[in-house]
Structure 1
Amino acid sequence: MEKRTKRFVMAFFAVLILAVAFFNISDYIITCKLKNYLKNDLPQSVEVGYSALSVSSWQGKLILLKPKIIKKGNTSKIKYLQMSIDTLVVDGISYWDYWIHDKISIEMVSISNPEIVYNHNKSVDTKQYESLKLAPIKKRVEIETFKMTHSDVTVFNAQTDSLILNSKNIDVTIQNIELFDKETKNKKALSFESYQLSFENLFYQLNDFENVTVKKSEINNDKIKLNTVTLKTKYTKQKLSSLLTTERDHFNISIDSIELNNQDFGFKQDTLFFFHVPKTILYRAKTNIYRDKLVEDDPTIKPLYGEMLKTINFDFMLKEVVIKNSNISYIERAKADNSGGGISFSDFEATLQNVGNTYKSPEKTTINIHSNFMKSSPLKVDWSFDANDPSGSFLFSADLGTFQTNDINKFSAPNLHVRFEGEILKTYFTISGNASTSRIDLKTKYQEFDIIALRNDGKRKNKLISNILNIFVSKDSKEASDNFRVGSEEDVERDQTKSVFNFIWLNVKAGLLDAMTGSPKND
């Protein structure tokens, strides 16, 4: 019995020693092969360095310390991608799955403290970026957990060295990743079960004039939340005007938070991208827009919103968008002798439905707005259009409560050299039209209305012109049967080089002129 036990113990230790030797030899061989591959077998445009490489075949684990990856242009040999990492860990590699199930299974891929710098060159043919892609996948790959923590990403314009994008403290966790050969039938090339992403202090150069910033984000399968979002023109108003050849708005927009709930995105048949969100909420959006009309007009055709939605080159749908507790200010400068005048919409609340290009007629995009115009006048707007209608048909109706006309003087006096006096008690109007022409039907109730034309200095009254204007305009609406004067105008032509809001204004102006001049008309 003792001999059997002794033999068993000796055999056990022999097997253990052989196993240890086997794994040590395996570790050595794998380490040498990896080092040789990273040194000699990578494409010439790729360089990989590191301070240490550790392999444990027993644990199915690979560790790279201080890896640094550099990608150069195929022809220019200029560095355009650099990635420095504290630690790269691949853990829980399954040999069983590799040999028996013909797949690569990994429990965890962890990347710690990566710093990524990318130099983007717009002039480089996009085909040259194909080398950034991984080689074709010959086996199915499953990764239980992928983590990237405390990441910093910076993107520069390679031609100007200007900053395009930067973000700090990026954390990414993706669960149950599966990668397939693209030729595998009925399978997506890439799929995953869940994801979490957060970042701080995002800066993005939207274009040559505007920048976007996001202070903080929380993103997962169920929600995208962006905190303290801004869109701002990078120049002062005066500097922007000096740079422009045609007019352009100066923006200063800040939003406390944006929430997108239950978002869904991906690729249909691995080709057509889609992005669908059932509900989007914007909290406390403060929008300040300034336009210098002294700069030459932009003669390009401005599409209506329906056309803009229809021409988005992927499936896009925000089923419901809610805007809460927001404010809009628009200032326009039309005279060189002043800084311009403005209009405002406070306590702005809106609900938008079907903001996208995937719905079918007779569904429509609808916009419902409640706000205070010039701080004190309640305004309700109902707006609808069909993005599928090539004619651009729309319906726009509004209900404006009591309005002190001197409030509009902040806009009209500096820009039009006209002031108004009196009180508009109630105004209703409906505009129906398309991308070219429209009709307005308007009714308004007002009292003590007076037009004051100003001299060229924009301050003193021009008595002669004021008296002539007031001959044609009724001072109040009392003569009408229900105290409302009615106006309408057909075939109001749209200036297609102007925005849709200019089109709305042309209709309102035509309706008011018809209502307030001449004899009262029946509704």
Structure 2
Amino acid sequence: MYLYFMANKKKKLLYIVTTVMLLFVALSLFINSFVKNKVEEHLSNLPQNVDLSYKNLTISTISGSIILNDIKLVLKNDTLPTKDNTLFINSIEVTNTSYWDYIVNNKISIQEIVVIKPNVTYNKKESSQKENSFLKELSEKPININRLSIEDGSLNIIHNKKDSLLLQATNVNVLVEDLLFSEEIKNKPIPFQFKNYTISSEELKYQLNDFDILTSKSISVTPKNSEINNLAIKTRYSKEKLSTILKTERDHFDFTVDSLTLSNSNFETTANDSLKFTIEKVELENPKLNIYRDKLVPDDTTIKPMYATLLQELPFKITISKVELNNGHIDYSEKVKKDRPTGNIYFSKLNAQIDNITNEFIEDTTKIDIKATFMNQSPISVQWNFNANDQFNFKADIGSLQAQKLNQFTEASLNTKVSGMLDKTYFSINGNSSIGNIDLKIKYEDFEVKVLTKDGKEKNKFISAIVNLFISKKSDETNSQFKNGKKEEVKRDKTKSIFNFIWKNVSAALLDALT
């Protein structure tokens, strides 16, 4: 009797457990179906300019997960004659969604979103009202995502009017932690909040303007440290082609850096909702800059601001404590006459440190310290300081240099040849955005200037003889080791660069010292 009773009890318990499990499964299936219908309803009720299609939608209410496969999202614009923006995604997996927060607290809380192989094509244009309303609808409920990751993505941004590629990036990987979207922050410069992030990409290509393109092999970005490898900024046209396109003078660039690193960087929004960037250190390894200018192209007569003014005019605040350039090279060449070769000067083994680049603290001074080798022969050191008011001091110390080394520049650009030995040159310029005052000391021997004929093939003996009448062959002819040169209130041509202003001061003081 007892055994019969126990067997009957176990059978009832089994029925109860089975019934509960069946009810649970049924309830789960019902909730899954209900939630799936709701999700599909939301996905099909997007703004009219949004087309969304997908292959599979899988939902598990137990784990709070949603999986979408083979997604295609198209943002249309029927107000502008532009191409559509498209997004293809292999899969999106949303895990651990809190239904309690959604139902009770009126917010969306998600543990993790994983986006696999998104391929984005964005056509740059003026934003339409429909796009703005779409973004507004997305942010009506606060959305908190503990972890958002994008794996193996690609991005293409195209300029609609010119039908040209503005930005291209491959193998893009992003991880963002504690991401928050809310009504309160959606109109800020950064319309979301986060605590931590990492971004990496390969084969980046970005069109800076109509002429120059930036590329890199790889990029790694974190809140504290970032690194860009094989960075290059190059003019997209050849030198010859650029000259036929330009309406006014513009440099042809070829700039490369093996690696660029940023240490202890941070960006944030200020009290007045503007962006603020702070970087402790920027380091450039083996930067190489080749600049070519065709002087046969008409001058660009627009005003060229000083560097301090350019900093102040940036639309955001920035402070970089230190910049280091290691083992750099600068090569400058210019074409002055069609039938003559280009003039060329260059600096090698260039090492520089720049302290305190800022537009936040206008009372601070930016300090630049440069050491290099000039024309593969002469050591040169430069100290350059300037402040927010464009007041500056530029000091240079140039070592022993055979004057003939300058002929590859002076012959083509100034139609002159020089000879002799420049043993030592010092100069110091104090100035502002309008005028400069220079003091110069130079020690030299057997210095001579040869003015060439118009075709540059031979010496113009008559003019050369007149010029050398006014030039002392030695700096110690008056029992002084150095010759002194001085010029006050050298006026700046504001349509030309700061380096033209430096050269204008130096040439005026040299003329005073040599004659």
Normalising by structure 2, report the TM-score: 0.95
Alignment correspondent of 1:80: 84
Residue of structure 1 in register with 2:162 after alignment: 160
Tell me which residue corresponds to 2:386: 385
CA contact (8 A) 1:182 1:189 kept: no
Q: Take 2:150 and 2:449, find their aligned partners in 1: how far apart are those partners?
A: 66
Question: Structure 2: which amino acid aligns with 1:38?
Answer: L
Secondary structure of 1:160's partner?
coil
Q: Secondary structure at the match of 1:424?
A: strand
**Hey, what's the Cα distance between the residues in 2 that align with 1:342 and 1:126?**
51
Matches within 5 A, 1:29-428: 29-39=34-44, 41-76=45-80, 78-99=82-103, 102-121=106-125, 124=126, 129-131=131-133, 133-135=135-137, 137-182=139-184, 190-269=192-271, 271-361=273-363, 363-387=364-388, 389=389, 392-428=390-426
How many Å apart are 1:420 and its aligned residue? 0.3
| Kept after mapping to 1: 8 A contact 2:85/2:122 | yes
Output one character per residue of 1:260-294: Cα deviation in whole Å (capped at 9) or x when no partner: 11110122247211111110001111100000000
Which shifted more, 502-511 or 126-135?
126-135
Using the TM superposition, give the Cα deviation of residue 515 of structure 1 relative to its aligned residue in structure 2, in angstroms.
0.9
Paired with 2:191 and 2:444, the residues of 1 have a C-alpha distance of: 66
Aligned mates of 1:80, 1:383 — CA distance in 2: 50
Q: Give me the whole-angstrom Cα distance separating, in 2, the residues matched to 1:129 and 1:371.
A: 53
Q: Is the 8 A contact 1:267 1:273 kept in 2?
A: yes
The 1:499–1:30 alpha-carbon spacing in structure 2 relative to 1, beyond 3 Å, is same
The residue correspondences of 1:409-488 to structure 2 (distance < 5 A) are 409-488=407-486
User: Residue 510 of structure 1 aligns with which residue?
Assistant: 508
Write the distance in 1 (CA, Å) between the matches of 2:341 and 2:131.
Answer: 48
- The gaps in structure 1 that reach 5 residues or longer are 518-523
Report how far residue 120 of structure 1 moved: 1.4
Q: Would you say the 8 A contact 1:385–1:395 is kept in 2?
A: yes
**Matches of 2:200 and 2:193, distance apart in 1:** 20
Structure 2 residue identity aligned to 1:227: N
Tell me the distance in 1 between the aligned counterparts of 2:106 and 2:11. Answer: 41
- 7, 19, 23: which one aligns with 2:28: 23
Alignment check: 8 A CA contact 1:71 1:79 kept:
no
- Partners of 1:147 and 1:174 within 8 A in 2: yes
1:441-482: CA deviations, max 9, x gaps? 000111010001111121211111111100000001112444
Distance 1:431 1:128, change over 3 A: farther
Cα distance in 1 for residues equivalent to 2:251 and 2:193: 42
Query: Residues 86-110 of structure 1, C-alpha deviation per residue, up to 9 Å, x if partnerless?
Result: 0011111123444455542211101
Q: Can you list the C-alpha shifts for 1:360-401, whole angstroms capped at 9, x where unaligned?
A: 41x2011110011111111110111112x2xx2111111001
Separation in structure 2 between the aligned mates of residue 249 and residue 267 of structure 1, nearest angstrom: 35
The equivalent residue for 1:495 is: 493
Distance 1:103 1:127, change over 3 A: closer
- In 1, Cα distance between equivalents of 2:331 and 2:478: 35
Aligned-residue RMSD, C-alpha: 2.0
Q: Unmatched 5+ residue regions in structure 2?
A: none
Whole-Å separation in 1 of the counterparts to 2:279 and 2:360:
12
**Shift of the alpha carbon at 1:513?**
0.7
CA 1:373–1:42: 2 relative to 1, 3 Å: same
**Does structure 2 conserve the Cα–Cα contact (< 8 Å) formed by 1:181 and 1:189?**
no
Deviations 1:116-146 (A, max 9, x none): 111113xx35656524525263444321211
2:27 partner amino acid: F
Q: Which amino acid aligns with 1:36?
A: E
In the TM superposition, residue 353 of structure 1 has moved relative to its aligned partner by 1.2
Give distance in 2, aligned partners of 1:354 and 1:439: 25
- Relative to 1, partners in 2 of residues 1:270 and 1:429: Cα closer, same or farther, differing over 3 Å? closer
- Does the 8 A contact of 2:82 with 2:123 survive in 1? no
Matched to 1:207, the amino acid is N
CA pair 207-428 structure 1, distance change in 2 beyond 3 A: same
Distance 1:514 1:410 in 2: 24
CA contact (8 A) 1:80 1:120 kept: no
Q: What's the CA shift string for 1:281-327, capped at 9, x where partnerless?
A: 01111100000000000110100001000111111121111111110
2-side partners of 1:78 and 1:466: how far apart?
A: 65
1:318 maps to a residue whose letter is I
For the Cα contact (< 8 Å) 1:45–1:77, is it kept in 2? no
AA aligned opposite 1:319: S
Query: Aligned equivalents of 2:40 and 2:439: distance in 1?
Result: 79
Q: Helix, strand or coil: the match of 1:111?
A: strand
Identity value in percent = 37
Alpha-carbon distance in structure 2 between the residues aligned to 1:511 and 1:270: 48
Out of 74-83 and 334-343, give the one that drifted further. 74-83
Aligned mates of 2:417, 2:182 — CA distance in 1: 70
Aligned-partner SS, 1:487: strand
Q: 1:280 to 1:71 in 2, by over 3 A?
A: same
Moved more, 218-227 or 135-144: 135-144
Residues in 2 aligned to 1:507 and 1:77: alpha-carbon distance in whole angstroms: 54
Alpha carbons of structure 1 residues 12 and 4: separation in structure 2 relative to 1, 3 Å: same
SS in 2 for 1:67: strand
Write the distance in 1 (CA, Å) between the matches of 2:177 and 2:272: 20
CA deviations on 1:35-59 (whole Å, 9 max, x unpaired) are 23323x1111000001111111111
| Worse-superposed segment, 124-133 or 455-464 | 124-133
- Checking the alignment, whether the CA contact within 8 Å between 2:205 and 2:214 is kept in structure 1 is yes
Using the alignment, how far apart are the partners of 1:129 and 1:438 within structure 2?
53
Normalization by structure 1: what TM-score? 0.93
Structure 2 Cα separation of the partners of residues 132 and 214 of structure 1: 34
> What secondary structure is seen at the aligned counterpart in 1 of 2:33?
helix
Does the Cα contact within 8 Å between 1:189 and 1:270 map onto a contact in 2?
no
Q: 1:326 to 1:174 in 2, by over 3 A?
A: same
> Which residue is equivalent to 1:521?
none
**Aligned-pair distance for 1:167?**
0.8
Rounded Cα–Cα distance in structure 1 between residues aligned with 2:481 and 2:83: 75
